[in-house]
Amino acid sequence: MTISRGSTEGTGLWQSDVDLRRLCSFATAARARFFVALEQEDELPATLDEANDKDLPVLIMGGGSNMLLTENYPGLVVKIDLKGISVRADSSSADHVLLNAAAGENWHALVEYCLDNSFYGIENLALIPGSVGAAPVQNIGAYGVELSDVLVSVRYFDLRFQQVVQLSAQECQLAYRDSIFKQALKGSAVILSVCLRLAKKPDLKIAYPALQQALHDISDPSARDVFNAVCAVRRSKLPDPAVLGNAGSFFRNPVVSRTLYQTLLQQWPELPSYATDNPEKVKLPAAWLIERAGWKGKRHGDAGVHEQQALVLVNYGQATGLQILQLAKAVARSVQQQFNISLEPEVNVLPASAWQSV
């Protein structure tokens, strides 16, 4: 690995031929032609200019916990390491605070920070791996809470116009595992910081069945109890990427027409479903479909479908990104054949064209 200082004044250390395996939770072998860790916001324009001058594509990376690299990256990987948390009063409500967090802060550490300081609203999102900056990209969610419940605004650097822009939560178009950053702004926004509105008094969301069960013995749970319960449930159900490579749920839960749902119910009366905002649409658990299609616990070499959670694909050690992708495609094909439902990846497959071409 060669290390050189970027030729443009003010940019961080550029490294070449960098192994990305340890930087991505799937732990598949892939290298970046160039890599830089961005610790200062004001270094970003020069870094991007330099990549542009060298005709290099740019990949923005946070914690690497929602990516599947299927080949070496031919350009510059910019790891967002911006740090800083600040809190101020919310002038519109004495019961809330506004918290700004830089994109490179660790999400789970932020959840702990909030709990320690009696700021409530994100305790259900404990133990989601990755960075604060990636949280709006897919509107992270778990156990009945989504980022959209607390997000006020996002500051990002627009690569097309070379300027910092602030979007309100509404302008971010947050939806189920989706946002403007996965759609219209895909590839042209570097998120710098987020602003969250958090409550000074807990308003616990504990309706989610697994959470209710975990809190069963506690008569008047606190936010800390909810946090602990979420951590315990997650640890019991999800593989730890430090032990077994994975990127959490590989597929999004499909949203289908009520007509298709009714047809499927005739053959599978036990098919679970969730209501959506649209009465004509129903969300189905992808894990159930994958399990019924016979994939739970299946293994192709070192690429596998997790034994306890069929929605999670895992790397048992030496699986390549392509092998994981081929397994994912095989799973999706069988769900399509059996249920006439198209599964789409929640994980960011790189390059994006690989999903269609496998």
Ligand X SMILES: Cc1cc2nc3c(=O)[nH]c(=O)nc-3n(C[C@H](O)[C@H](O)[C@H](O)COP(=O)(O)OP(=O)(O)OC[C@H]3O[C@@H](n4cnc5c(N)ncnc54)[C@H](O)[C@@H]3O)c2cc1C
Residues engaged in binding ligand X (CB under 6 A): 25, 60-67, 80, 103, 128-131, 133-135, 137-138, 140-142, 181, 189-191, 238, 241, 246-248, 348
- Of 191 and 282, CB closest to ligand X: 191
- Of 67 and 110, CB closest to ligand X: 67
Nearest Cα neighbor of 314 from 261, 211, 212, 241 is 241
Cβ of residue 133: shortest distance to ligand X, in angstroms? 3
Place of tokens 């970027």: 6
Whether 346 is catalytic is yes
Cβ of residue 260: shortest distance to ligand X, in angstroms? 25
- Of 226 and 264, CB closest to ligand X: 226
Burial code of 126-160, b = ≥16 C-beta within 10 A, e = fewer? Answer: bbbbbbbbbbbbbbbbbbebbbbbbbbbbbbbebe
Cα–Cα distance, 344 to 11 (Å, whole number):
37
Residues 236, 155 contacting (CB under 8 angstroms) = no
Kind and range of the H or E run holding 329: helix 321-339
Catalytic one among 43, 65, 249, 252? Answer: 249
Q: How many CB atoms lie within 10 A of CB 229?
A: 25
Cβ of residue 230: shortest distance to ligand X, in angstroms? 9
Cβ of residue 173: shortest distance to ligand X, in angstroms? 15
Cα–Cα distance, 281 to 275 (Å, whole number):
7
Cβ of residue 69: shortest distance to ligand X, in angstroms? 10
Catalytic one among 41, 43, 146, 346? Answer: 346
Whether 249 is catalytic is yes
Whether 155 is catalytic is no
- Of 128 and 229, CB closest to ligand X: 128
Characterize the bridge pairing of strands 58-61 and 73-80: parallel
Cα–Cα distance, 25 to 183 (Å, whole number):
24
- Of 190 and 341, CB closest to ligand X: 190
DSSP E strands: which ranges in 39-109? 58-61, 67-69, 73-80, 85-89, 96-102
Mention every residue, 6+ apart, whose C-beta is less than 8 A from residue 86.
Answer: 99, 100
Catalytic one among 31, 155, 177, 197? Answer: 177
- Point out the residues that are catalytic: 177, 249, 346
